[in-house]
């Protein structure tokens, strides 16, 4: 019986880790897009965000805590310049 409980707990933690990875992918895309158009996106508590801009491309790297370590995702987006500035 205790083995079944351990297996169920491991499955639940695995699903939680997958959910954290999906959340990291979504947040990385939102942060990269927001920075590219000039908006600030607040990632929320416990999330780490790193933004770099190089040659007109924004790269956002997001780390989200998960039951098995941390889930990290990276997203790229081209910078959108206001009309008439470039």
- What is the value of pTM for the model shown? 0.83
Among 16, 12, 14, 13, which Cα is nearest to 24's? 16
**Residue 37, CA atoms < 13 Å, CB-side half-sphere:** 7
pLDDT in tens, 16-50: 999 999 999 999 999 999 999 888 888 888 899 99
Residue 85, pLDDT score: 64
Residue 1, pLDDT score: 84
Residue 33, pLDDT score: 94
Distance CA 37, CA 16 (A): 32
pLDDT in tens, 48-58: 999 999 988 99
């Amino acid at each position: 019986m205790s083995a079944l409980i351990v297996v169920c707990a491991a499955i639940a933690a695995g699903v939680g880790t997958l959910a954290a990875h999906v959340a990291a992918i979504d947040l990385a895309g939102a942060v990269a897009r927001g920075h590219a158009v000039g908006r600030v996106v607040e990632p929320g508590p416990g999330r780490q965000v790193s933004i770099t801009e190089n040659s007109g491309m924004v790269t956002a790297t997001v780390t989200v805590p998960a039951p098995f370590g941390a889930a990290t995702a990276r997203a790229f987006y081209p910078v959108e310049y206001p009309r008439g500035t470039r």
